[in-house]
Amino acid sequence: MQLKITITYGELRADFEGDPADVYQSVLKFLEKNIPAYSLASKLRSSAGVEEILDKIKDWVSYDSSQGIYLRTDLSKLPTAEALLLYASTRYLNKLLGHSDSGEFLASEAASALGKPEKTVSGRLSELVQKSLLKRVGRGGYTITPYGLDYLVEFSSKR
């Protein structure tokens, strides 16, 4: 089934048609780009749970309308497992908010972001997959699970 949405804002007009998930992402991108008053809060209302997650991890992340959610903490100072979950959560949340096409990441990307050897990161990724905090996707990719998000929120509340 195809979803079709037409947006008219002043003299701007945009038509979106396709898979509902793709249309949703396109609408978010359009609104963010063309309507400056379109705030993070209004976007969060449409993504159940995102607002709560961001509130719980606000000591580690910030939001900018052009960059999306970005880390504001040095991941190398956190335990590797928690740093990986935090990195994975920013990728996932940026996808939900339309700032990224994918919430997935590779071990090499995570190693670079954490400033840790890829071998160390790969070992921790395997452990997190075994604990169902992350899941493997595609060829060597990873993404956070709902359980992983819950774990991260709980970890952040204990800090």
- How do residues 64-93 score in pLDDT, each as one tens digit? 877 888 888 888 888 999 999 999 999 999
Strand partners, 106: 141
Position with higher pLDDT, 143 vs 44: 143
CA dihedral 62, 88, 158, 97 (to 10 degrees): 40
pLDDT range class, residue 36, cuts 50, 70, 90: low
CA 141 and chain centroid, separation:
14
Sequence ranges of the chain with CATH classification 1.10.10.10: 48-157
Q: Which residue has the tokens 């509902």?
A: 20
pTM: 0.69
CATH class of 48-157: mainly alpha
Structure letter (DSSP) for residue 134 = E
